[in-house]
Structure 1
Amino acid sequence: MIFYFVRHGIAEDWAESGLDQDRRLTERGRKRIRQCAQALRLLEIKPDLIFSSPLPRAAETASIIAEALSTDPPVHKEQLQPDAANSDFIAECLNANCSSLMIVGHQPNLSEYVAQLAGYGSNLIFKKGTVCRVEMQGEHGQISWLLPPKVLIALADVRQAKQKNKH
């Protein structure tokens, strides 16, 4: 099984309501996530299922990615809210009937889930829009790559340029 962990895009500093849980993506955040999603599409990444935090900034990120990858809409999971990480959620994911799963959420949860699967400390750097791929080998996972948005966008630009040169 392959896991893709994605941190939500750049969000508002504060919501009109004053509640952190209501913060949405900024226009810059939506643009960068669209660019990252384009890179994922060009890398031919297409998860069978996308789980997302129900908070607007993560839900918007997951929806943008799902649309770009032509997958089913994301499934919102309460366990992906900030500071709600628990080991039962990963067990649920491992039992999902799929070969690849994308999880869109928040820090520190994402680092904790990767640490749980791959045995690393929970100090991974997940900038907003970062994608981490973990490949399961039996009961243990291995981090294949962790790409920040700048690298994803650069990959997409190079790939598109190569495709244009072929035509």
Structure 2
Amino acid sequence: MKTLFLVRHAKSSRDDPSLPDRERPLNDRGRDDAPRMGKRLTQRGVKPDLLVSSPALRALTTAQLIADEIGYPRKNIVVDERLYASSPDDLLAVICALDDKLDRVMLFGHNPEFTELAHRLSSEIIDMPTCAVAEFRFDAKAWADVSEAGPAKAKLDAPKK
């Protein structure tokens, strides 16, 4: 069984229009929502083997705040350029290339790609609001098989739920 978590970054600030997109920080709501979602994951007993984040500040900060809540060391978060300004196909390629020794992986990134991929994996998911966590469980032994086999189970949680 492989479990994939897609986490859209928490709400970011657009207060400083001079900042490059990659450097936009979380706003107050985002800094509140990310730990809240991390606590919910902890309450559900979620223990990922790997956290992978887009290099954008808002995504990496979301990953760090959730990591703090679930007991995952910040220093072990992998930053992957392919999670920024990508496509659902690019994201799926990253997922399919994951080490099969890993059973639970959490990716942190952006819309519209995360919603598009989530919808492709489960037609029930049509929108991922900021800081939403989509969880997919696949009856597969290899990550490469995830793209062909639909998830056995899909779940979506968001801060306002």
RMSD: 2.1
Deviation of 1:47 after TM superposition, in Å, equals 0.6
Q: Which amino acid aligns with 2:24?
A: R
**2:105 corresponds to which residue?**
101
Judged with a 3 Å threshold, the aligned counterparts in structure 2 of structure 1 residues 15 and 53 are, in CA distance, closer, same or farther, namely farther
**1:146 corresponds to which residue?**
156
- Name which one, 1 or 2, has greater alpha-carbon Rg: 1
Aligned counterparts of 1:84 and 1:23: Cα–Cα separation in 2: 21
If each structure's helix is expressed as a fraction of its own residues, which one has the higher value? 1
Equivalent position SS for 1:107 = coil
Q: State yes or no: 1:131 paired with 2:152.
A: no
Runs of 4+ in 1 over 6 A off after TM superposition: none
Judged with a 3 Å threshold, the aligned counterparts in structure 2 of structure 1 residues 22 and 14 are, in CA distance, closer, same or farther, namely farther
Count residues with an aligned counterpart.
148
The answer on whether the counterparts of 2:122 and 2:154 sit within 8 Å (CA) in structure 1 is: no
Aligned counterparts of 1:108 and 1:24: Cα–Cα separation in 2: 19
The answer on whether the counterparts of 2:7 and 2:107 sit within 8 Å (CA) in structure 1 is: yes
Q: State yes or no: 1:78 paired with 2:81.
A: yes
| Cα displacement string for residues 12-62 of structure 1 (whole angstroms, at most 9, x for unaligned residues) | 125463321210101221111111111111111111110110100000000
Aligned counterparts of 2:157 and 2:40: Cα–Cα separation in 1: 11
TM-score using structure 1 length: 0.79
**1:13 corresponds to which residue?**
14
Structure 1: stretches of 5+ with no match in the other structure: 152-167
Q: Percent identity?
A: 26
Deviation of 1:141 after TM superposition, in Å, equals 3.2
Structure 2: stretches of 5+ with no match in the other structure: none
